[in-house]
Amino acid sequence: MSSINDEPTGPVKSHSIWRSVPFQIIVACGVSFTAPGMWDALGGLGAGGAAEPYAVSAANALVYGLFAVVCVLAGAINNRIGLKYGLALGAIGYPLYGAGLYTNNVHSTTWFMLFGSALCGISAGFFWAAEAAIIIGYPSPGDRAFYLAIWQSAKAAGPIVGGAINLGLNANRKTAGSVSSSTYIVFIVIMCLGLPIALCLSPARKVWRKDGTTVVTSIAPTWGAEFKAVGRLFISRRILLLLPAFFISYFYNGFVSTWLTQYFTVRARAFSSFFTNFAGIFSSFIIAFLLDNKRLHIKTRGRIAFVAIITILVGTWIWASVLQQQFYEMAEPPVHDWFTGGFGKSYALVFFWQFGGQAFQQFLYWLVGQYATDLSNLSHHTGILRGVEALGQTVAWAMQSEGNANHFVSIGLNFGITLLCIAPTWIILSELEGSHEVQVMEEEVDMKQDVEGVHKP
């Protein structure tokens, strides 16, 4: 097999920019901005912008419950139908979710909100399995953390733009309650753009990398073999040890939504949906700089990143415990307006939840990407990662659907499972010596095709 450092000996092969890795990342980021980005923007308002969080929390639990089941299987399905069509299927459900929130806000129609949530959950399973495989698998191993940061930024840009819309439409609303109905209309229109953008993605076999390596795929001969491969990977020692980290990585989202809804005014929540996402952008590029830094051994990079992330997350839950106890001891729970007394210390917690949570998610993508051997194997990895993470969010949102839930239960679970994931994740990090991806040069593929062409009858 050729070395990636060999000098080219023949004429330079011409490549189309439309087949380049950066263009594929732009496509994936465009879909991420329009679909889950706008979904996150609604979530950033607290309870999808509703006055009461409990019905919306139940709808979100339904989304993630279906998402968890579908996503594990979608890694195999996307390998068979192609990542482009998996991404397109994944974009369909988000506008229906937005429409469900709109009808619940305007007409108090809970059934359509639950129907839209169910379709969104199924659709999202295909989306996240496909997009994660694209973002990690299309770039070369040494560029993955950087492209993950670009993707996280695009995903955060959706809530930032959506948050700006929220802020503009709700800036004068100083009380708690639901957001204006026009907010949902704008989001639904943007969400509808995800499908046509997804269809611009190139098949993996046609994508070229700047280092001359190809995106290797290995589709199983049958559907049954594809699903069996997912099953074998799921019960492998490595994945079993990483399950606690997968489960807890986004578990905090359900509690954050309730925290915002109960303790902040509408315009303070709109401010949060706009500004908080910058935390994820900051942490994404910081973690990318570390994880792609080849001056440090890959194991050292991973360990430093993991320790920093866990330190931040543990700190936020200790902080949350202190504030929650203060709120429970008050005669009336506070409702913070922006930049008033108590807003800073309560909102800063939300900012650092996002800062640490996005860094943790990016770290886990990077970690499974190092262990995957090719794009097909990576699709299985990312499907399991996102599926188990969605299972965690299902539990988290279900807990928030009860109006009289004790917040210390959520805080305790987040804190406890975060501590639980440390030892098994550290074991997997300790075994990481380099990328497991099988590297094949474009020249080798071209030579193989030429030979097959010569011998073809």
What is the model's pLDDT at position 265? 87
Return mean pLDDT, the chain: 83
What is the model's pLDDT at position 166? 64
Residue 13 lies in a domain: no
Specify the DSSP element, H or E, that contains 131: helix 110-137
pTM of structure = 0.81
What is the model's pLDDT at position 333? 86
pLDDT digit string, tens, across residues 15-72: 788 889 999 999 999 999 998 888 877 765 544 444 445 566 677 777 788 888 899 8
The two tokens of residue 7 are: 């000098």
Mean pLDDT of 365-390: 90
111: containing domain: 19-449
Q: String of b and e for 293-308 (b: at least 16 CB within 10 Å)? A: eeeeebeebbbebbeb
- Give the separation between CA 445 and CA 21, rounded to whole angstroms: 18
Q: Which of 355, 421, 425 is nearest to 392 (CA)?
A: 421
Mean pLDDT of 295-302: 92
Residue 394 lies in a domain: yes
The two tokens of residue 99 are: 């429409």
Give the residue ranges of DSSP H helices in 340-441.
Answer: 343-371, 375-400, 407-420, 422-430
Compute and round to an integer the Cα radius of gyration of the chain. 22
Q: Which of 91, 141, 139, 96 is nearest to 114 (CA)?
A: 96
State the total domains in the chain.
Answer: 1
pLDDT digit string, tens, across residues 80-102: 999 999 999 999 999 998 888 88
- Report helix angle 343-371 to 266-275, nearest 10: 40
Q: Are 267 and 340 in contact (CB under 8 A)?
A: no
Query: Percentage of the chain surpassing pLDDT 70?
Result: 84
pLDDT digit string, tens, across residues 300-312: 999 999 999 999 9
Q: What is the DSSP string of 55-87?
A: HHHHHHHHHHHHHHHHHHHHHHHHHHH-HHHHH
- In a 10 Å sphere around its CB, with 0-12 CB exposed, 13-18 middle and 19+ buried, how is residue 222 labelled? exposed
Q: Are 429 and 302 in contact (CB under 8 A)?
A: yes
What is the model's pLDDT at position 110? 78
For 184, phi then psi, to 5°, come to -70, -40
Residue 325 lies in a domain: yes
What is the model's pLDDT at position 22? 92
* CA–CA distances in Å: residue 280 to residues 156, 286, 307, 352, 356: 7, 10, 18, 9, 8
- Give the separation between CA 92 and CA 94, rounded to whole angstroms: 6
The upper half-sphere exposure of residue 79, i.e. CA atoms within 13 Å in the direction of its Cβ, equals: 30
Lowest mean pLDDT of 83-87, 136-140, 160-164, 452-456, name the range.
Answer: 452-456
Residue 273 lies in a domain: yes
Mean pLDDT of 144-155: 88
pLDDT digit string, tens, across residues 165-224: 766 765 565 554 455 667 778 888 889 999 999 999 998 888 888 877 778 777 888 899
Residue 455 lies in a domain: no
Q: Give the residue with greater pLDDT, 325 vs 375.
A: 325
Mean pLDDT of 341-346: 88
CATH number at residue 221: 1.20.1250.20
Residue 8 lies in a domain: no
What is the model's pLDDT at position 56? 63
**Residues belonging to the chain:** 457
Residue 240 lies in a domain: yes
Mean pLDDT of 426-435: 88
